[in-house]
Chain A
């Protein structure tokens, strides 16, 4: 029995010694060293297992159980110690690790849609919601489509409203507005009703300056049906303006003249720069002109293949460059086609 007593005492001592050493362990390395020397293959407790073979057969189960208990106790102590140390380390890390959050982030190389594309998309989306579909139309046009079919026969005074680039081909010019697209859609669709939107580039003979461009983007809107009214023109364009400029946008229709519409009007929107107080952008009026519109002229309906006694319609046209210019208070309209990336990246 003395042998058993002694062996058990030895085990107790092994446990006590190991725990005493563990108490003083203060870092990861010494903890790992502790694990090797007190739980590793050549550790005292493992030595007990390997010496088991030379033990009395009767003693073996008792000693096996006791040694196992010691090993488990040491393992548990190790895990607890490890957790404690990890918690300490994390606490320390959280206390000491600090970034300069004001340093710039890693730049991501990105692209953007051209500002005019962005504005055009907003416009086509709004009209799209109202059932309008987009039609393409050519930028190099015939004199007939650009003028004559729009109720401006040769030498019509209203032709002066558009300074035109002519090509060296007889009767061919660079379209001065998107309105010739009206005739193209009508001829394509007659006698069906139409809700069309025609975006595209237009060209006018101007001296290039901060305020005037030779090429610019326009959108044409066209509705044809059997009883289209001025009230519908007004309602549709007011809805459009509210959606483009915001719920509070004030609008007004002012009589104007376009040969291809009658009555003709211009739509003004309350100046979004000064809120209507008056500023240089709105020339102190509090109003900004955003589009021209009107009821489709009978002559135009006829050229488009619709009987003006039966059909009516309205049309509107707006310049995208100018309204974008005003909206973002851009100082120079030429930025849009100079494509300076420092400008484009801001949108």
Chain B
């Protein structure tokens, strides 16, 4: 092992930034579900234009981290900052308005509504001509959705539902997009497509925080990554370094 990954808390994040430059910044975040201590002091940050991935085994707290950022769960301790602004105690619908788009785990589309209505809801707090622009952009990214505009979301295939969930999150005009396991249950080909689209979205200027089981793919598209284990960040490094890391390879890349 040539490069030692930085153990969090001992050295700073690899890409050194001043606070103002960070889109997202979590500091010692603790989140509970009743008595269950799901996040035990998570500290991480995302800089503008980055793709950052958060990997970890089942139940590590990845989804909880995203939910805490978007305000669906509330941190009991610690702070969450968005573009320098404290959003720890802000309700989810206001966090959206400030620019956090969340495509939750498990393709949670509004299944009784049509594709168009789903996307429309993504723009619920917006109005004006740029909504149409964004809609065109989403249909551009996902031509499949355009074909199926009037179809009920519940009757879409799994992959299409995932596209819709991402598209809906994009319609909130996010400055940072939270993606929770976008490849879950998708065929290898579709997974590859989704990852390509994620890069594309990122190229168009949207910062992405990506939670993935498929660590290899995630580390491929991301610039940096964090490894979460039972509610704590245990590693943080550049994506390349993480992909080369022995520990990571054993635990998450299926190598012995």
**Are chains A and B native binding partners rather than an unrelated pairing?**
no
